[in-house]
Amino acid sequence: MTFNYLNLVGNAELIKQLNYAMIYRLIVQQAPISRIQLAEISQLAPASITKITRQFLKNKLIKEIDTQQSTGGRPAVSIEAKFTHYQTIAVQLSRSHVIVELYDLGANCLASKTYPLTDFTEKLAQKYLITLIEQFIQEHSKKIKNLIAISVVMPGLIDSVHGIVRYTPHIQVKEWPLADVLHKQFNVSIFVGNDIQSLALAESYFGTTQNVDDSILIRVHHGVGSGVIVNQQLLTNHNQSACEVGHIQVDALGDRCHCGNFGCLENRVVNRAIENRAKQMIAQGYPTKLTIGECNIANICACANQGDELAIKLVKDAGENLGRAAAIMVNIFNPQRIVLAGELIKSPEILLSAVNSALKTQSLEGLRKNLTITCSTLNDRSAIGAFALVQQALFNGSLLITLFDSNEV
């Protein structure tokens, strides 16, 4: 038998990372909590808990607060997370604009600014993004004590493991090594991811799916995107993608989609499709308060809420089509909760009723027995999804280890 020292060291480092991650997550989610309670829940030795929490205290990730009431013996000191010592920058690179936000480690947004996106080639977009981040850091230098990470999310095919943008619909890219570029420029940890998958992760950390293990987020805007959470982990595959829900066929006789198929969900429920259908129906004489000049999704939802029959029909049709696609996902993944996001949720009662109606007829009863469907409580037009990538790195320990190593230098 050959003794492999490198494997032994590697395994020890991984175990160390996982233990740090587990204890940090327990402190964040269950504070105030004592070291004794951490040892009982984690099944780690008290000496290990003392070592880990000492490291957290040294790096200002936690703080000790008032002692808990004694039940005999030495009173236990409570611990809670300290969020204010470190900051991160989160960026949403959307089709028409760039949102740059500053967060502390408690997901509190300290500053936010939106910029127009006018450069759509890799080289120009990269230069513009760096300039925006540099300006943002300079403008908010008083709020930035210790910047430890920058995260960027955008639509498209993103290799988050290697930090490479392989495809995004609004910028001409060719294996864009965005994480490496930003790391060389700012010398902090960099995270890059898909915007909708990251939003699903944010929903799991900060939104309506915090208390469930398995969930699906579906967001409707320019396109239809989804993110799947299984056992509190974002589902991805070898290609860093999963569940292209927008190109599920919901109408075999529908229009041809740009993907080549007919009747894709995306062609039926995105904002532009609903707005165009509204204009067509108004031109055909359907009675409504809507006018062709004001057929935007916000007005359609507002009129639907006021009882306008045409607007109700448009929202209902979109909900039924979403329900057909959601039924397929329910039959495959059996989630505990489905969360809808996008402008359509401004008419929640009509939308959710239509989605539920389609689900009841097209998904297995046993799989939807304990299923709930709700609308997102997060601002999907913010960069909260980008910050979720930082939270993920804290909760899996990778950013913690990087932080400890950098503070030792």
Task: Label residue 84 exposed, middle or buried (CB < 10 Å: 0-12, 13-18, 19+).
Answer: middle
- Does the 87-200+383-408 domain belong in CATH 3.30.420.40? yes
**Section 381-394 average pLDDT:** 95
Question: Where along the chain do its domains lie?
Answer: 5-81, 87-200+383-408, 208-375
78 touches 33 (CB < 8 A): yes
Residues 118-148 have pLDDT tens digits of 888 999 999 999 999 999 999 999 999 999 9
Provide the whole-model pTM.
0.90
- Residue-level pLDDT at 242: 59
Number of H helices, E strands in the chain: 14, 15
Residues 340-352 have pLDDT tens digits of 999 999 999 999 9
387 touches 88 (CB < 8 A): yes
Percent of the chain with pLDDT over 70: 92
- Residue-level pLDDT at 74: 60
Residue that wins the pLDDT comparison between 242 and 296: 296
Q: Edge-to-edge, what's the strand order for the sheet holding 233-234? A: 233-234, 224-230, 215-220, 337-342, 372-375
Partnered with residue 219 across adjacent β-strands are 225, 341
- Residue-level pLDDT at 274: 93
Residues 156-179 have pLDDT tens digits of 889 999 999 998 988 999 999 999
The tokens 């045409």 sit on which residue?
310
Q: Which amino acid does the sequence have at 36? A: I
234 touches 197 (CB < 8 A): yes
Across 98-107, 124-133, 178-187, 221-230, least confident range: 221-230
Diameter of the chain measured on Cα atoms: 83
Residue 284 CA: distances (Å) to CA of 18, 267, 310:
62, 21, 12
- Residue-level pLDDT at 4: 54
Query: From 3.30.499.10, 3.40.190.10, 3.40.50.300, 3.30.420.40, which CATH number describes the 208-375 domain?
Result: 3.30.420.40
Question: Domain 5-81 falls in which CATH fold?
Answer: Arc Repressor Mutant, subunit A (1.10.10)
**Section 245-258 average pLDDT:** 73
Those residues with Cβ within 8 angstroms of residue 63's Cβ, 6 or more apart along the chain or in another chain: 57, 79, 80, 81, 82
> Can you spell out the DSSP letters for 336-380?
SEEEEEEGGGGSHHHHHHHHHHHHHHHS-HHHHTT-EEEE--S-T
Indicate if 208-375 has the same CATH topology as 5-81.
Answer: no
